[in-house]
Structure 1
Amino acid sequence: MSTKLDEARGVVAERIAHALQEEILSGALLPGTRLGEVAIAERFDVSRGPVRTALGQLAESGTVSIVPNSGARVRELGRDDARALYEVRAALESEAARLAAEHAEAGAGDALGRLLGLHADEISAHPQGAYLQVPGDRDFHMVIARMAGNPIILRYLTRELYPQLSLLRVKHRNVTGRGQAALREHHRIAEAISAGDGEVAALLMRRHILASWNALEAQLIDTPEETT
């Protein structure tokens, strides 16, 4: 009986965590927003137990900060946190690009080309804007992570790294002027993957992420988290 009850509570907690995560990543809940257990429990018409579990799950993914005697808030990423994330991103995504090139099947280059063609149309409509991609099958980096065929890399990127990077994008939407350059870098990475050249694909991906970090770093401001 208790096992079934625990499973039911787990399902409820997962549902709450998913709903809150969607709101955090979309920007509906901004960094620093307080996540009160009582208010969330009333909203979802549940007890505080599943809410506490859900917030714990979000804390593990890095999108929520829980401070003793203060409660939970949408995480605010400081400059040092952002730099650390990009360092990990460069390591994981460069390896993903190398593996994607080694595992590339016939037609992979055409598929990536079609995807980047869609991105080109979107960027041409806003040539001075940021390179904002729709999550999922239209996200160039997500597609390459899946092509790599390494479930551990994919899990770390999708469950931990990308959600935390989304917090940065939500807070720093004014990173402009990167679209055209980033698209050219994506094309070069796609060409290396299509050619099966893993070493070049990895090198180009690392350079691309470094350029992305340099553009973002110029927009970052100090946060309270950095000064504690």
Structure 2
Amino acid sequence: MSTKQEDSRGLVSERLASELRRDILDGRLAPGTRLGEVALAERFDVSRGPVRAALNLLNEIGIVTIVPNSGARVRVIGREDAQALYEVRAALEGEVAMLAAQKAGAETARRLRDLLGQHAGEIRARPDGAYLQTGGDRDFHLVIAEMAANPILERYLSRDLYPQLALLRVKHRNVRGRGAEALREHERIAAAIADGDPEVAGLLMRRHIRNSWTALEAQLSETEEDRT
């Protein structure tokens, strides 16, 4: 195969991976759904090779599980893996918050204030709901990761960790009443970052992640009880 053909196939597999990732994280392909190569090849009107490559890409970032002689499925994240993800998240995001505080500039406070002001309006409209963010420059945690100005940390969080957390939330979208509480925690973290206080920013971020895990763990327990 020529280099040009390889590049073309790679672009196709990346496009398929992007579309499937969106379907998974938006909940259109639920955890446990089988991802058959033949069906996907027919859906996208491509051969099975790019489909297989796309599924491997999604397996690498942790949102698809591939079992030999069984095929691929949307990953189901169990309690043990969920807790491990949150432990890693607390460690990394605590460091990110500290770095963001160390590098805070004149625009930091304004940018965070504007962002959280938008979130506050959304939460007022759904006071008992979860704190759902739309990603990109509207996501508090991604914005803090960008402010930390550490490309390795930002790439790991955005490419590897956050998709797994988003998949976990697909099944547990409505952590009741968490929205307003999470916003207050974000506001305290933002204030510490804007003040250039890395120790407090890191402490508050780690506490925020632990609180998020506690709320999610309670919902995981309720779901398990519903199945018994």
State if a TM-score over 0.5 links the two structures.
yes
CA RMSD in angstroms, aligned pairs only: 1.4
State the distance in 2 between where 1:106 and 1:197 align. 14
- Displacement of 1:174 in angstroms is 2.6
Whether the 8 Å contact between 1:34 and 1:73 is mirrored in structure 2 is yes
Q: Measure how far apart 1:43 and its partner are.
A: 1.0
Counterpart of 1:63 in structure 2 is 63
- Segments of 5+ residues of structure 1 without an aligned counterpart are none
In the TM superposition, what is the alpha-carbon distance from 1:168 to its structure 2 partner? 1.1
TM-fit CA distance, 1:39: 0.5
C-alpha displacement at 1:111, in angstroms?
A: 1.0
Q: How many aligned positions are there?
A: 224
Equivalent residue runs for 1:1-228 within 5 Å: 2-221=2-221
Distance 1:214 1:163 in 2: 20
TM-score normalized by the length of structure 1: 0.96
Go from structure 1 to structure 2 and tell me whether the alpha carbon gap of 1:223 and 1:134 turns closer, same or farther (over 3 Å shift).
same
- Percent identity between the two aligned chains: 69
Whole-angstrom distance in 2 between the partners of 1:83 and 1:17 = 26
Give the drift of 1:163: 0.3
Separation in 2, partners of 1:190, 1:56? 37
Amino acid of the structure 2 residue aligned with 1:74: V
Q: CA deviation at 1:44?
A: 1.1
Matched position secondary structure for 1:116: helix
Q: Distance in 2 between matches of 1:64 and 1:221?
A: 24
Deviation digits for residues 190-215 of structure 1, max 9, x if unmatched? Answer: 00000000111000000000000000
Cα 1:223–1:4 shift into 2, 3 Å: farther
In structure 2, distance between residues paired with 1:174 and 1:5: 45
Residues 26-62 of structure 1 show CA distances to partners (whole Å, capped at 9, x for unaligned) of 1111100100000111111111111111000000000
**Aligned counterparts of 2:55 and 2:83: Cα–Cα separation in 1:** 25
Distance in 2 (alpha carbons) for counterparts of 1:196 and 1:128: 32
Opposite residue 112 of structure 1, the aligned amino acid is: L
Task: Quote how far apart the aligned CAs of 1:223 are.
Answer: 9.5
Please give the TM-score of this superposition, normalised by the length of structure 2.
0.96
CA distance in structure 2 between the partners assigned to 1:152 and 1:223 by the alignment: 35
Q: Work out the CA distance in 2 between the residues paired with 1:160 and 1:4.
A: 28
1:73 is paired with a residue of what secondary structure?
Answer: strand
3-state SS of the aligned residue for 1:66? Answer: strand
* 2-structure distance, mates of 1:104, 1:208: 20
Question: Structure 1: which amino acid aligns with 2:204?
Answer: L
2-structure distance, mates of 1:220, 1:54: 30
- Distance in 1 (CA, whole Å) between partners of 2:168 and 2:185 is 21
| Moved segments of 4+, more than 4 Å | 221-224
In 2, Cα distance between equivalents of 1:31 and 1:47: 25
Q: Is the 8 A contact 1:79 1:221 kept in 2?
A: no
Unaligned regions of 5+ residues in structure 2, if any?
A: none
**Residues 124-171 of structure 1: CA deviation (Å, up to 9, x unaligned):** 111111111111111000100000000111011101100000111110
Quick one: distance in 2 between partners of 1:40 and 1:79?
30
Deviation, structure 1 residue 216: 0.2
In the alignment, the residues of structure 1 paired with residue 175 and residue 12 of structure 2 have an alpha-carbon distance, to the nearest angstrom, of 37
